Amino acid sequence: LRVPKRYRHPALEERLSRRRTAQEARSLLRCRRAGIPAPVVYFVDYVTNSIYLEDIVDSVTVQDHIYSVQKSGDDTSSFHKLAEKMGELLARMHDEDIIHGDLTTANLLLRPPTEKLDLVLIDFGLSFISGLPEDKGVDLYVLEKAFISTHPDTEMMFQALLKSYAATSKKSGPVIKKLDEVRLRGRKRSMIG
């Protein structure tokens, strides 16, 4: 269900909500067709701009999983394998030209038991279709920034994710190159203000 933005003109809000609902449903269906784990779409209601999805029962976000392992003092060596699985999943998604638009560890679920590392991508509300390495690089950059801000001391985890992404994706070379360019632009922007 999309929460209306009251500051927007009602006609614009309706048009944007309808377009985003349709794009989210399309991206979810495209993922499912490609064998990429995402919730099943049961029904799309364009009157209320709602999508009725499969409930991933007893799942936990990757974000919460990382927090709980770090908080409990458990061995974090499992993070490396989790990062590799995430890299493989994102490479497969990008090879299908699906750009998530909001990649964070909160938008990746782990099905139980978490040791199996059975990942599911969720929240495709900002997704779109693009074959451009720039868009894929920005998608990865958003995730990298999310890692830095949400999970301090997990830099090696993101590096393992990128290595796995590069090994899995058929088109990783130009994407990683663009990611490096996007990083440079981001650094320049933060220096200038």
* Active-site residue list: 102
Residue 22 CA to its chain's centroid (Å) = 18
- Do 27 and 44 contact (CB within 8 A), yes or no? no
> How many CA within 13 A on the CB side of residue 121?
32
Residue with tokens 């038991």: 113
Give alpha helix (H) positions in 73-171.
78-95, 133-150, 155-168
Task: Tell me the C-alpha distance between 108 and 191, whole Å.
Answer: 31
- All residues at 6 or more sequence positions from 143 whose CB lies less than 8 Å from its CB, including other chains: 90, 103, 104, 105, 158, 161
